[in-house]
Amino acid sequence: MRLRFLGTGTSFGVPVVGCSCATCTSADPRDARTRHAAILEEDDRRLLIDTPPELRLQLIAAGVSRIDAVWYTHCHADHTHGVDDLRVFSVRREHPLPVYASQPCLETLESRFDYVFDASIRPIAGTTKPEARLLPFHAYELIEVAGIPLLPLPVPHGEVEVYGFRVGDLGYITDAKRLPERTRASLEGVRTLVLNALWYGKPHPTHFTVEEAVDVARQIGAERTYLTHLSHHVRHEELTRDLPPGILPAYDGLVVDV
């Protein structure tokens, strides 16, 4: 199994518009972070995690020509507003693309992007639209997605519940402020862990700081932990230097064998 990080930035992305800080003006390509997305690959199956606004550019950069399903962690704009870029995949399929989300997120998707998810809305003759079918998952209930068995793991993110997952030896969590006890227990024994980490120092009401993510990583005890959803307040080189052994910053384009 392989995990490909497509986007590792926050809702602002990096560089931030109009910012001249050291990260936003960095020559290190690992400091250029588009908004959150990833692909989980097993054999010839590909599961896309989230559809951020930069999705088309991410997929081109990664050389991705096909996906088999989509997993939405939650329905915030930076994780969903590239949904129209699914159109290129659905026009190549005989059936609508399966899209998985929690029930509240499904309802938001249906309302916000009805032209995608309402089968009664048809495109003008000679044109196309994304064709997708919404499917629910439920907390802590194992589900097979694109032939890959995933355990949905809820975490709090302000007033929203975000869903990461466990698959085999991989645990994937983004946009979390803490791990509920059952989610933490479900991650026991993973060898590779992904966690969000916004910045150093000042606590954020809905995201882990770097220090909080490091503390959680130590509690889980995975061999490797990758930090994602990083802001422009942290640079890749500095994180690599300062983080404890076994904890690393992810970057756009990073591919990890799980």
Euclidean distance between CA atoms 137 and 128, whole angstroms: 28
Reported as a pLDDT band with limits 50, 70 and 90, residue 139 is: very high
Q: What is the pLDDT of residue 226?
A: 98
Q: What percent of the chain has pLDDT over 70?
A: 100
Options 3.10.129.10, 3.60.15.10, 3.40.630.30, 3.40.640.10; CATH for 2-257 is: 3.60.15.10
148-184, pLDDT tens digit by residue? 999 999 999 999 999 999 999 999 999 999 999 999 9
Q: What is the pLDDT of residue 209?
A: 98
Average pLDDT over every residue of 96-125: 94
72 with 109: CB under 8 angstroms? yes
Q: What percent of the chain has pLDDT over 90?
A: 94
Helix (H) or strand (E) holding 108: helix 103-112
The helix/strand/coil state of 70 is strand
Q: Is the pLDDT of residue 94 over 90?
A: no
28-46, pLDDT tens digit by residue? 999 999 999 999 999 999 9
Q: Is the pLDDT of residue 75 over 90?
A: yes
Q: What is the pLDDT of residue 249?
A: 98
Q: Is 97 exposed, middle or buried (CB count within 10 Å of its CB: 0-12, 13-18, 19+)?
A: buried
57 with 78: CB under 8 angstroms? no
Average predicted confidence (pLDDT) for the chain: 96
Domain ranges of the chain: 2-257
212-228, pLDDT tens digit by residue? 999 999 999 999 999 99
If DSSP states are collapsed to H, E and C, what string results for 200-252? CCCCCCCCCCHHHHHHHHHHHCCCEEEEECECCCCCHHHHHHHCCCCEEECCC
- Least confident range from 12-16, 81-85, 93-97, 196-200: namely 93-97
In the structure encoding, which two tokens stand for residue 59, read together? Answer: 């997929």
Return the number of other C-beta atoms located less than 10 Å from residue 19's C-beta.
12
Euclidean distance between CA atoms 59 and 81, whole angstroms: 15
Helix (H) or strand (E) holding 117: helix 114-117
Nearest CA to 80 out of 47, 105, 61 is that of 105
